[in-house]
Each structure stands twice: as structure tokens, then as C-alpha cells.
């Protein structure tokens, strides 16, 4: 499985290197502009970095889905599927590599943006009144979650939310892979727009179904306390993880039994 992830890296390393070069160039531009008090250059670089935090994340996920679709539609991935690894291992390696690379690259861009904004805000001289307003805003936010929110609860909530988002990303990838594989199964001798349309429709249906089940679990209730929020996030994560496992297993089974590679 690690060898397959290494193969996926080799396929995408040029794109990743371009992203890293863009990150270094923009960060250097911000630092130079900030050092020379050229805030126009620094602002442009920081604005581009901020935009790219979301853009690179979306691009890597979409590229991972498109790559898998091409491997099935154009028969370019037959060597991958012939390696002595089970279909589930192949599917898992592709999904994990795409998700992990998206998170790592996004974290690097996000870290640069956080550092740059911190550098800018460190120059601001916040007076006592402003600090009191910020403290009041945090108190009001805490009150919406039960009125007595400790640092431990805040950290725990952030951890749960981060884990839930990660599982949702994996579920989205698994849903897309299953939709593409189902399309390849139903339209073995078809290519082009028809396969793409069927894949999109299947993805929409599967995504709608998982969303409806998730809504049934949460009962569309707005949590009033931290404990209620954690229970809701935990239930949602469990449902999403179950769907992700089922969809990945179904994709592997179709690759093994139904799809002609």
C-alpha cells in the first residue's frame, strides 16, 4: 500500500512542486514587501496566499478524482490494478494519498497565511477598550454553548470538528470513486460525456442519500451545550465513516468482479 502511495506521489510530484514554488515565491514577496514597507506588494502576495489556501485543497481533491476516472475510462491504470495488492488496498491508497496530500499542502499554505497575518497584527496597538470588546465577544460565544466553556472543552470541540471534517472529506472521495466505478460498470463500452454525466448523477444521488441519513441522525437539532454538540458530531462522524467504508468496499468489489480493465 505504501508503494502504491509512492507511485501516486510520482504522478503528482510536478504539480506539488509547482505549488511549493508558488508558496515560496509569494511568501518571499510578502516578506520582502513587508521589510521594505511596500504594503502594496505585501498585500497582493498575502491576498494570493489566502486565496490559494482553499484553491490548492479543492484542486488536489478534484485532481485525485479526475485521475481515477481517467484510469478507468482510458484504461491507463491497468498496471496499477495488476499489482499484487487487493482492490481494497488500491482504492484505500489512492484515497488516503489524495486526502493526505491535500491536507499537507493546505496546512503549509495556511501556516504561511497565519504567520503573515500574525506578523501584521503584532504591529497593532490594541487599547484596553478593544481587548474588553474581544473578551466580551468570546463570553457571548461561550454563552451560546452552555455559558461555562473551559479551555479543555474548546480544544475537545475543535478536535471533534476537525475529525468530522476529515471523515467527510474521505466520504466525499469514496462517494466519487463509487460513482465513477458504477458508471464504468454500467457503461463498459461507452466513453466520453455519457460516462461523465452518469458519474455526476450517481455522485449526486449517493451524496444526497448520505446527507439525508446524516440529517436523520442529528434530527436537525441545534445543540445548546458543548456535550450536545460533541454527541451530534460523534454520531455524524460514525455515520459518515460507515458510509465511507461501505462505499470503498463496494468500489473494490466492482473493480474486482465487474469492471473490465
Long-range contacts formed by 18-21: CB under 8 A, 24+ apart = 19/52, 19/56, 19/105, 20/105, 20/108
Whole-number pLDDT of residue 67: 87
40-96 residue pLDDT tens:
888 899 999 999 999 999 999 999 998 888 877 765 555 555 666 677 888 888 899
The C-alpha angle 192, 195, 198, rounded to 5 degrees, equals 145
Whole-number pLDDT of residue 147: 47
Higher pLDDT, 118 or 260: 118
Q: Which three cell numbers stand for residue 248?
A: 470503498
Measured CA to CA, the distance from residue 189 to residue 195 in angstroms comes to: 10
What are the Cα distances from residue 70, in Å, to 19, 62, 113, 196, 220?
Answer: 23, 12, 34, 10, 38
- Summary count for the chain: helices (H), strands (E): 8, 0
- Nearest in space to 182 (alpha carbons), one of 254, 248, 253, 81: 254
Segment 228-234 shows an average pLDDT of 75
CB atoms within 10 A of CB 223: 16
Residue ranges of domains in the chain = 1-124, 149-261
- Kindly state the DSSP code that residue 222 receives in the 8-state scheme: P
- Kindly state the DSSP code that residue 84 receives in the 8-state scheme: S
* 16 Cβ neighbours under 8 A, 6+ residues apart: 9, 101, 105
- Kindly state the DSSP code that residue 86 receives in the 8-state scheme: -
Measured CA to CA, the distance from residue 160 to residue 154 in angstroms comes to: 10
Q: Which three cell numbers stand for residue 59?
A: 484542486
Question: The cell 487599547 sits on which residue?
Answer: 127
Report the Cα–Cα distance between both ends of the chain, in Å, rounded: 20
- Kindly state the DSSP code that residue 75 receives in the 8-state scheme: S
Whole-number pLDDT of residue 197: 85
Asked if residues 29 and 41 have their Cβ atoms less than 8 Å apart, the reply is yes
Asked if residues 19 and 56 have their Cβ atoms less than 8 Å apart, the reply is yes
4-53 residue pLDDT tens:
777 788 888 899 999 999 999 999 999 999 888 888 888 899 999 999 99
- Does residue 225 come out as left (phi exceeding 0), alpha (psi in the -120 to 50 range) or beta? beta
The pTM for the full model equals: 0.78
Asked if residues 184 and 259 have their Cβ atoms less than 8 Å apart, the reply is yes
Axis crossing angle, helix 193-218 with helix 151-186, rounded to the nearest 10: 140
Higher pLDDT, 125 or 237: 237
Whole-number pLDDT of residue 20: 95
The alpha carbon of 52 is separated from its chain's Cα centroid by a whole number of angstroms, namely 14
Amino acid at each position: 500500500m505504501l508503494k502504491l502511495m509512492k507511485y501516486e506521489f510520482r504522478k503528482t510530484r510536478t504539480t506539488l512542486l509547482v505549488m511549493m514554488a508558488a508558496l515560496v515565491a509569494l511568501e518571499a514577496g510578502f516578506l520582502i514587501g513587508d521589510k521594505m514597507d511596500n504594503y502594496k506588494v505585501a498585500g497582493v502576495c498575502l491576498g494570493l496566499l489566502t486565496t490559494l489556501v482553499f484553491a490548492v485543497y479543492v484542486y488536489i481533491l478534484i485532481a485525485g478524482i479526475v485521475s481515477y476516472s481517467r484510469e478507468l475510462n482510458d484504461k491507463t491504470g491497468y498496471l496499477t490494478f495488476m499489482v499484487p495488492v487487493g482492490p481494497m488496498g488500491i482504492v484505500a491508497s489512492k484515497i488516503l494519498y489524495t486526502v493526505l496530500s491535500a491536507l499537507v499542502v493546505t496546512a503549509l499554505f495556511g501556516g504561511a497565511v497565519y504567520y503573515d497575518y500574525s506578523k501584521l497584527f503584532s504591529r497593532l496597538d490594541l487599547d484596553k477598550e478593544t481587548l474588553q470588546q474581544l473578551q466580551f465577544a468570546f463570553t457571548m460565544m461561550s454563552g451560546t454553548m452552555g455559558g461555562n466553556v473551559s479551555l479543555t472543552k474548546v480544544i475537545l470541540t475543535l478536535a471533534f470538528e476537525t475529525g468530522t471534517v476529515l471523515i467527510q472529506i474521505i466520504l466525499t472521495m469514496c462517494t466519487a470513486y463509487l460513482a465513477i466505478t458504477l458508471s464504468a460498470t454500467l457503461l463498459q463500452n461507452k466513453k466520453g460525456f455519457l460516462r461523465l454525466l452518469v458519474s455526476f448523477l450517481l455522485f449526486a444521488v449517493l451524496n444526497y442519500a448520505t446527507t439525508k441519513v446524516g440529517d436523520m441522525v442529528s434530527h436537525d437539532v441545534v445543540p445548546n451545550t458543548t456535550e450536545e454538540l460533541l454527541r451530534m458530531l460523534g454520531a455524524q462522524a460514525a455515520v459518515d465513516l460507515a458510509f465511507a467504508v461501505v462505499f470503498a468496499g463496494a468500489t473494490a468489489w466492482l473493480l474486482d468482479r465487474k469492471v473490465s480493465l
